[in-house]
Structure 1
């Protein structure tokens, strides 16, 4: 069959149904350009592979977006996952999610701990319970995928403890969690590969400088974009500083510290957070997003491809060599775009001010909880007394009724 067709092309030329060469070239070039663009924007695949059986991983943000893909990849390689979720363990969605994850990965070592990252008290409850275990619990990896953002056009919000929401969830929660878990990280055996993976975003490049008086974002100009960028910049400065904090620890066995902090920029992906940002949280924005979805599909990564750099940070052996605090993007090490990320003076001031903010916030929250507890106990006492008085009244009324019946019967 190919020979007659080729012969007809040779003797008779192109068939009438075949498009003009220029038209074919135009459409072929356009298709090739789109394919090349999609290939480029999808990013690199993780070239490293490693089994994670028996390794204990704490993961935040593991129920949606990039974090959900990371959870699946880790669980499919045998890791024991401890998911920190805002929902309680008996939440129907969370129960279904964990059961589905266990089924798809054939890994039963997946469970959840309720930790509200917008509450310093909730974080302290979990972290202190973890480090209070004797002997020290195994801990191989901490992956901090949780993040939040305020959509453009919306007002500044605060947590119940009075901290700006983006600053709290994106930075201060991680600062507080790692600060309390430090003893558990330092207690791991020397030959254990311990990694703290901190995803970031290249929005940190355009963030304003970290001024000590603005820690917590209670003063100065505020915008959703600036607040998100500042929180990511602070997280990167802290990550570098936290690696130095771990390196400065003198182990009882006099061996070098084995924990490595790895910063990862997964790139822009089609996640729920990105959709909220693009749509501005409006129905009209969502409509336009659906109409032009092909543009988002073409220019943004899938959550699975965005998770590749995080998995590279979790599995690549070369990251154990040399110092920690490396920045990974597209499954390769890159340099930071800002010098103040490495500035020790900036890191010192940020750490001190963050400590002060945590102490002040926790103290105020503790006083509030004590006052609410006292009010609740007083209210319960009043209700108990009222209930007792009501019971006595009913008893007297019942006795009075019996006496009246007895008097009537006597007459």
Structure 2
């Protein structure tokens, strides 16, 4: 059909029902060129598609951020390939939304091996509770992959927010939570057999390029959402490189080399909830503008599935486990880091030590607060029990008094007895 139609157009010109501009060959050529350019731009902005293939059946993958955005698209693809997923979520598994989400995911992927564990990434205590429970299992649980997709951001113009433990929110969720989780799970990662392909995948973004130096603290006066977000991403990349060296330095009991690899993946710019929050500045007016001009982000940004391609390539491509770890994947290919300090050992050492101190200090403070709260609860519970006992005793005394009064009323007096005796 298309070829005869094109031949008819070339031979006899545009049909009568066609617009007037179609009868002008130059105008038609302009339209074709513009449409071609738009197609190429859309094709370029959609990014590269992952072509790597790998059987994921039987592999245990732990994920953060697997319920929305690029993380959800990654989880869906890996579940379709047969992987067993352990999704770390803020909500408990019994929550209606999470239960429906997992049920839907199981049905869509025909994979029943999808579970959820409650882990609040804004709480060091919650992370430690889960991670210690995981590594205390005997024999050690299988763990083939750790994918850290969870992230948060404060929209432009937003105020600095802190977690309940007093840590700046983006620094906590985007970096310190991952630092804490990976540190505790390190024995589980190192304990995997030599023939097992173990990967730690850290999604990042190009914002790390504009980050201020990690050698200087970001004080509150200099804080801005852009600086804080970029700094958290750079810190995660520096720590990832240091963690790879930490794994490589481990001497296995069987004297075989370490097979665990840290990999970084840049999904590119995609239409995720985080990007939408950034573009709308977290306001209703911004959301209205975003909605009415949706054609622009649709045209220039990837969708969530397209954004997941580089992460999937890092998870699936067999060649990435050959050679050293710490590789950076962008558009499904290995690229170089844009900053030299990502591999700076001195900065990594300072960051690791400062993070350790912050975690230790915060956990001690929170442990003392929990102990005090527990003591207060016990005191209140004791007071409540004592009050209940006092009420019971009062009720018992009242009952005894009432019983005696009734007996006294029923018992006849001496005068009544005399009257009864005298006829």
TM-score, normalised to structure 2's length? 0.93
Structure 2 residue corresponding to 1:28, chosen from 29, 32, 38: 32
1:50-107 deviation digits (Å, cap 9, x = unpaired)? 1101101100000000000111111111111110000011101011111111111111
Instruction: Give the match for residue 421 of structure 2.
Output: none
Tell me if 1:198 matches 2:199.
Answer: no
Task: Return the offset for 1:8.
Answer: 9.2
Q: Equivalent residue for 2:81?
A: 77
| 2:229 aligned residue | 228
Residue 324 of structure 2: aligned partner: 323
Aligned partner of 1:163 in structure 2 is 167
Tell me whether 1:182 sits opposite 2:183 in the alignment. Answer: no
Q: CA deviation at 1:403?
A: 2.2
- 1:392 Cα offset (Å): 1.3
Within a 5 Å distance, the mapping from 1:5-20 to structure 2 comes to 10=11, 13-18=13-18, 19=22, 20=24
Q: 1:16 to 1:130 in 2, by over 3 A?
A: same
Instruction: Give the structure 2 partner of residue 282 of structure 1.
Output: 283
Deviation at 1:362, TM superposition (A): 0.7
For residues 188 and 4 of structure 2, the distance between their equivalents in structure 1, rounded to whole angstroms, comes to 73
CA distance in structure 2 between the partners assigned to 1:7 and 1:308 by the alignment = 43
Question: Which aligned pairs between 1:124-273 and structure 2 lie closer than 5 A?
Answer: 124-211=128-215, 214=217, 217=218, 219-273=220-274
> What pairs with 1:349-364 in structure 2 (closer than 5 Å)?
349-364=350-365
TM-superposed deviation, 1:410: 2.6
- What's the RMSD between the two structures over aligned residues? 1.7
Alpha-carbon distance in structure 1 between the residues aligned to 2:337 and 2:129? 34
Is contact 1:164-1:218 (8 Å) kept? no
Query: What's 1:401 paired with?
Result: 402
Aligned pair in 2 of structure 1 residues 197, 385: CA closer, same or farther (>3 Å)? same
Name the TM-score, length of structure 1 as normaliser: 0.96
Deviates more, 1:21-30 or 1:353-362: 21-30
Question: Which SS does the other structure have where 2:226 is aligned?
Answer: helix
2:107 pairs, out of 60, 85, 103, with: 103
Residue 37 of structure 1 pairs with residue 52 of structure 2: no
CA distance in 2, matches of 1:234, 1:13: 63
Aligned length: 407
Instruction: Check whether the contact 1:9–1:15 (CA below 8 A) recurs between aligned residues.
Output: no
Structure 2 CA distance, aligned partners of 1:322 and 1:4? 56
Q: Distance in 1 between matches of 2:10 and 2:51?
A: 45
Q: Hey, what's the Cα distance between the residues in 1 that align with 2:346 and 2:15?
A: 74
Partner Cα distance (1:379, 1:3) in 2: 88
**1:374 aligned partner:** 375
Check if 1:56 corresponds to 2:68.
no
Cα 1:8/1:187, change in 2 over 3 Å:
closer
Stretches of structure 2 that go unaligned for 5 or more consecutive residues are 413-423
> Structure 2: how far apart are the matches of 1:107 and 1:5?
48
Larger radius of gyration: 2
